[in-house]
Amino acid sequence: MIFPILLPNIFNHPFTYKSNIDLKIGDYVLVPFGKSKIKGVVWDEFEKDKKRNFEVKSVLKRYEVTPLKKTTIKFINWFSEYNIIPKGMALKLFLSGSNDLEKFPKEIIKNSKPYIKNHLVNLSEDQKKSLKKINSSNKKFRVHVLLGTTGSGKTIVYFEALKDIINKGFQCLIMLPEIGLTSQFEKKFIEFFGFNPAIWHSNISKKNKGLIWNKVANGDLKVVIGARSSLFLPFKKLGLIIVDEEHDQSFKQDDGVKYNARDMAITRASFENIPINLITAVPSIETFENIKKGKYEFSRLSKRYKNASLPNYEIINLNNTKLEKQSWLSNKTIEKVNLHLKKNDQVLFFLNRRGFSPNVLCNKCFSSFVCPNCSINLVYHKNKNNLLCHYCGYKSDLKRSCKKEGNCEFIFSGPGVERISEEVKRKFPEKKIQIFSSDTMNKKDSKEKIEKIINNETQILVGTQLISKGFHFPSLNCIVVVDIDLSTQGHDLRGAEKNLQLYHQLSGRAGRTGKPATVYFQTYDNNTKMISEITNKNPDIFLERELYIRKKNKLPPFQRFISLILTGDNEIKLEKEAINFKNFIKNKIEGKILGPVNAPLFRLKKKFRIRFLIRGLKSMKLQSSIAKIIPKYKFSSGIKLSVDVDPINFN
């Protein structure tokens, strides 16, 4: 008998193999491919091109593993079509943890047969109503959005909803936007349920990934908490998906296979015919539009847990106070912070810039340190004493011969969190201070650091946007936004939406236990309308206006955007290729093509980059037309194309 076998590679079709074994769709097999042997899956359709004469090779063996479900195979086919990627690359995402399919690990994961704590939780009336609404339609596919101001107890509500699903023997997936959130979230989960969930993200060891992958495929593992890639686990009996902080931009995968994990989770739930809950304080514009259309159900928690009040806002006008040389904190700000510290409040200085300084230039020759691989300045990291490119990882020492004479004399232009931390240490020498960024909090000791923050052993934090992503710090009652003007610059289509979500999330870290809290905004801008808009207690007002602007200008979510990026080593050759490529495809796609233009980040990892933007109706016809035409165009050697459906960043 012959069978179609899909291989985890760049091919968009299965290959035909023969076997005496009676194989079923979804079976994992080992097959010869070229000179190597490769794992594959028995697919649901044969390759279309049957005209070629080829030798049909034999399947070497079938693995005794629970087969991939037909619904999962359908999802992979759809995922491939929607994101315009080969089916084999989509399958590869599902096989990322299948290290050794022959050896079933004998270790028992603690929650194979979970016993759920039966404790009473005192829910507020708001929480009870939300829970009732979530549970009333928990049997088949539907999207429920749980909206709630930060600190309103959304997690407890969906934990309660989760209990019922687990007790019925189903598996559950909870997706979080950041790896850094998993340790605090895991602790909260164990306290509530009394058993350990499985944790899945890129930092998990290969052995643990294999163990979890097998247990998920078997149906033994009941709850997985994970980042984006957890969506591609081969669940045997998935009963519920939860996407926490659904608005978060981190759910978008920008490297390799590009996809939006939140949107893909919704579609996977529809193929599995199971419910999905989206959790947020300020919804993404797409989710808000779907609520308005009645496509998504929703419930709302309008009050904070135990009626804790939201923080107050205060603007510190930097035009009225002169900053000292090499200082970014005004005297008025320091006075306010001192008042909070006297009350034993924890303080956060917020600046969304890693490192010490984003720009290093010479006082004599005035030349900056630029990445040799990317068209971007190198950032100085004082703690490591090196210059670093945040895009390609290039490192350099802070030493350079000057074009004029001797060595360069450096000036550090602009602050990063390390520089603010130094100033804070000078102003508050007695206090314990911690930088909270991806450079400091994705390490082995980050659990310990978070515990110290929770216990108020660390009195002052200096953090980037990582801190806004759902952490609970009970003593944090003072936030200083060092430079609000910095985050309002730029030409990002989603800039206003991102700021609204960022500052709502950020302010939500403060005043969570009922003590009065204040967020201070340092600014040179006399127009404070923008600050009052992004801190309004009712974000719907802002989102309504943003939707009106998007509709008027035919922007997402009212049209679909697809970004095409051409990369190459030779700038002139790339520019010519871009024009030829546009002429080839422009009348053959179901949308309008804009460009070519140099990407804002024109050079990345030694490659020049040219962008196109295709805009069209929200229909799979757009993807289908692009997928058909691209293979017909033969790119010159050294030039590559990457496709990004529903882009979030426009670098």
Is the same domain home to 604 and 523?
no
Give the residue from 518, 544, 570 where a domain finishes: 544
Residue 111 placed within a domain: no
Structure tokens that stand for 167 in this block: 């007790």
Is the same domain home to 348 and 477?
yes
Give the pLDDT confidence of 57-108 residue by residue, as tens digits. Answer: 999 999 999 999 999 999 999 999 999 999 999 999 999 877 766 655 444 4
Q: Which residue has the tokens 């599902």?
A: 94
Give the pLDDT confidence of 111-158 residue by residue, as tens digits. Answer: 445 666 666 678 999 999 999 999 987 789 999 999 998 888 999 999
Span of 139-153, 217-231, 302-316, 397-411 with lowest mean pLDDT: 302-316
Residue 573 placed within a domain: yes
Is the same domain home to 257 and 279?
yes
Q: Which of 594, 596, 593 minimizes the C-alpha distance to 639?
A: 596
What pLDDT sits at residue 119? Answer: 63
Residue 367 placed within a domain: no
Is the same domain home to 536 and 591?
no
DSSP letter assigned to residue 305? G
d(CA 63, CA 359) in angstroms, rounded, equals 55
Residue 102 placed within a domain: no
For residue 486, the Cα-to-chain-centroid distance in whole angstroms is: 22
- What is the amino acid identity at position 604? L
Residue 399 placed within a domain: no
- What is the amino acid identity at position 121? V
What pLDDT sits at residue 469? Answer: 80
Q: In terms of residue numbers, what domain contains 7?
A: 2-71
Q: Are 34 and 65 in contact (CB under 8 A)?
A: no
274 — pLDDT class (breaks 50, 70, 90): very high
Percent of the chain with pLDDT over 90: 68
Residue 83 placed within a domain: no
**Is 582 exposed, middle or buried, given 0-12, 13-18 or 19+ CB atoms closer than 10 A?**
middle
Is the same domain home to 207 and 290?
yes
d(CA 78, CA 99) in angstroms, rounded, equals 25
Q: How many domains does the chain have?
A: 4
Residue 393 placed within a domain: no
Is the same domain home to 257 and 347?
no
d(CA 506, CA 461) in angstroms, rounded, equals 13
Is the same domain home to 132 and 203?
yes
For the beta carbon of residue 640, count every other beta carbon within 10 angstroms. Answer: 10
Is the same domain home to 489 and 567?
no
CATH number at residue 625: 3.30.70.600
Is the same domain home to 600 and 534?
no
Q: Are 512 and 304 in contact (CB under 8 A)?
A: yes
d(CA 82, CA 618) in angstroms, rounded, equals 11
CATH number at residue 197: 3.40.50.300
What pLDDT sits at residue 497? Answer: 86
110 — pLDDT class (breaks 50, 70, 90): very low
